[in-house]
Homo-oligomer: A and B are copies of this chain.
Amino acid sequence: VTHSHDVPPLPAPDVPAAVTALRARGLRMSAARRLVLEVLYAAGGPVTAEEVAAGLGGRMTASDLGSVYRNLDTLERAGLVVHAHAGHGPAEYRLRNPGTPGVACCEVCGRSQPIAAPALAHLQAVLRDRLGWEASFSHFPLLGRCPDCAGAGAPLRRG
């Protein structure tokens, strides 16, 4: 699902701050919801709903996958989380970071890396000039080969 809901607050630096921010929004704090927050902050990078539900590989109490999806959605509406579709496979969720509004995902090694705001702005300017297109690399990442895989000459799908 795609969101164009209410205005997002600034992201919270840690779990307690996130809890406070969510409470301020009138949201309740349950075990399942706290798990999602804990995993997201502990991971420090993109995670799938499945990974969250598994409690980061069993280190935390696992939760229902359906509830995890609902909570990730809630957190996204609240402006704490964003998700992106990295090609095939499940969506990747991460803490929202205004400094890195874009995502690039390598089709060869599968790793995804953030695109910093200045670089993103430059890319968007080129796309605007060249195609008249207002590009977004947040929800659907930039896909291709990362510097490492491109250098190694890994094959790319045909155009």
Which A residues lie at the B interface, using CB under 8 A?
2-4, 8, 79, 82, 85, 87-88, 98, 101-102, 104, 107, 115, 119, 122-123, 126-127, 130-136, 138-140, 142-147, 149-150, 155-159
Copies in the complex: 2
In the bound complex, residues from chain B placing their C-beta under 8 Å from that of A101 are 159
Provide the bound-state CA to CA distance between A140 and B84, in Å.
13
Docked-complex contact A144 and B127, CB < 8 angstroms: yes
- B107, B122, B134: the one within 8 Å of A150 (CB): B134
Docked-complex contact B82 and A159, CB < 8 angstroms: yes
In the bound complex, residues from chain B placing their C-beta under 8 Å from that of A140 are 87, 107, 140, 143
In the bound complex, residues from chain B placing their C-beta under 8 Å from that of A149 are 134
